[in-house]
Amino acid sequence: MRELAGKMKIAILACSNGLGHVRRVIAISSYILRSGFKGNITAFLPSSHLEILGNWTETKYFLNHPSVSICDFKYPIIPDRKTKSLFEKKWLQIDLPNLDDFDVVWSDNITQVLKDRPDAIITGSFFWHEVFSHSNHNSELQEFIIEQRELIRKTEPIIAGNEYFSTPEIKNVKRFCPVGLYRYNITFKEKKENNILLSCGLGGEEEDVTKTALQRIIEENLKPPKTLFVEKRILPNSYPSWIEKADFSDNMFHNCLAVCIRPGMGTISDSLVNRTRIFSFSTENSFEMEYNSKILEKLGVGESCKNPYDSYRKALEFISDNDKVELQIFRTSHLRTDGVLATAKLITGNY
């Protein structure tokens, strides 16, 4: 990295809706630090997410690095009454820190920062205002949609987004920089296990329907050849021995041949870089998830399903077909996976 990188003071802000934003920030920051960066990084992140990711090697490295300072920061704000609805969260309210003293400001999926720092670098493959604009439940968010679109138009920020999954509004920004999938483990291994993952994501929108699907799977004794990994939040108090708690580690993804997921960008990356087929599901009127599902089908590496139960049945069929498994491995092997490297270079000025 160029000499200037050693003198930089970088501020990072990460959206707290879902775990992928924070995980991406940690991975890219750790890469920057391991590459000889001698400046300082101040990360404005939700501490609750750091706790969830606490056992990850990159999180430990990031938190213990002497050049890193952490400030608890949450956006969007969740109302006092706990909600699983994306539209009930407080998107219009944001308490941004003072960013005047930083050389570089990097914001993951929070566009409001451009009002104070029009030079900020944005990372993400979608805009929240774009998601809301495609919803039938956006009446209270029209002001947010209009303001953020105008802010993007005026500032024309640098945006690093995934080459395959970035939405139309992201790709239409003049200084859009496409990057590959985010590979968090560079080890390549032969796939020998045939497990399945069932997950609904941290956002909570699909939690209830996924719990219902899991209960049906258990009642019908729909066993996978070996193990069904299930997200901890949707596990019942007791469950059969062929179900295990998912830890979302690289090793877990590598040991799966299929995943049944709400297709957020983080889980998509984890799945595809590990040569795993994606059987996606989401509630109706979910623009980002529906868009990602269409791209998965276009690339030939995933399928859109009616619900979590349907996705699991299709996953069972897939892993029993060796020809389809080999085709998935072939297709995913040719996808671009330099998201961490390319984004790190962009942030440090060496793109």
Structure tokens at 351: 């793109």
pLDDT of residue 1: 40
pLDDT band at 77 (very low <50, low <70, confident <90, very high): confident
**Which CATH code for domain 3-180+338-347?**
3.40.50
pLDDT band at 278 (very low <50, low <70, confident <90, very high): very high
Question: Strands 40-45, 195-198: parallel, antiparallel or unpaired by DSSP?
Answer: unpaired
Residue 195 to residue 226: CA distance in whole angstroms: 6
> What does DSSP assign to residue 3?
G
Question: What is the three-class DSSP state of 212?
Answer: helix
pLDDT of residue 43: 98
Residue with more model confidence, 258 or 38:
258
User: For 24-44, what is the mean pLDDT?
Assistant: 95
Contact assessment for residue 43 and residue 10, using Cβ atoms and an 8 Å cutoff: no
Amino acid, single-letter form, for residue 281:
F
Domains 3-180+338-347 and 195-333 are alike in CATH topology: yes
pLDDT of residue 3: 45
Residue 83 to residue 100: CA distance in whole angstroms: 34
The residue among 260, 250, 208 whose CA lies nearest residue 229 is: 260
Amino acid, single-letter form, for residue 55:
N
Q: What is the dihedral sign for C-alpha 348, 31, 16, 20?
A: positive
**Domain ranges for the chain:** 3-180+338-347, 195-333
Q: What is the dihedral sign for C-alpha 195, 201, 206, 208?
A: positive
pLDDT tens per residue across span 205-233: 788 999 999 999 999 999 999 999 999 98
pLDDT of residue 225: 94
pLDDT tens per residue across span 292-325: 999 999 999 999 999 999 999 999 999 999 999 9
The residue among 240, 181, 223, 189 whose CA lies nearest residue 312 is: 223
pLDDT at 200 over 80: yes
**Which CATH code for domain 195-333?**
3.40.50.2000
pLDDT of residue 351: 43
Q: What is the dihedral sign for C-alpha 151, 157, 159, 164?
A: positive
pLDDT band at 95 (very low <50, low <70, confident <90, very high): very high
Amino acid, single-letter form, for residue 308:
P
- Which residue is associated with the tokens 């059987």? 279
β-sheet with 9-14: strand ranges across: 68-72, 40-45, 9-14, 104-108, 121-123, 158-162, 176-179
Angle, vertex CA 75, rays to CA 71 and CA 81, nearest 5? 115
Left, alpha or beta for 204 (phi > 0: left; psi -120 to 50: alpha)? left
Structure tokens at 184: 């968090």
